[in-house]
Amino acid sequence: GMALIGLPVAIGALGFTEAGIAAGSIAAKMMSAAAIANGGGVATGSIVAVLQSIGAAGFSLGTTIGLTAALGSAGAASG
């Protein structure tokens, strides 16, 4: 449960926000590196694109359910 709350907060702290990538942030540096590597654009499905999607909109219901199941199974296995 805490991971589902903490992860979006951590992503926001990196600079992936609802309003876009924050200037001067780690996210901005990641986006710049990704754009340089891809000839000027950020590839769909790349880590930068996924993190920005989460920063802008949070987790979808499907992602939340999937993460809850995966984290719950991992917790049960480690316990």
Per-residue pLDDT at 66 exceeds 70: no
What number of other Cβ atoms are within 10 A of residue 47's Cβ? 11
SS3 state of residue 67? helix
Residue scoring higher pLDDT (15 or 77) = 15
Q: What is the pLDDT of residues 4-60, one digit of tens each?
A: 567 778 888 899 988 999 999 999 999 999 999 999 999 988 899 988 988 888 765
Residue-range domain boundaries for the chain: 1-37, 42-78
What is the pTM assigned to this prediction?
0.64
Look at residue 70 and tell me whether its pLDDT is greater than 90.
Answer: no
pLDDT at 9: 81
Per-residue pLDDT at 15: 92
DSSP one-letter string for 17-49: ETTEEPTTSHHHHHHHHHHHHTTSSPPTTSHHH
Distance (Å, rounded) from C-alpha 71 to C-alpha 74?
Answer: 5
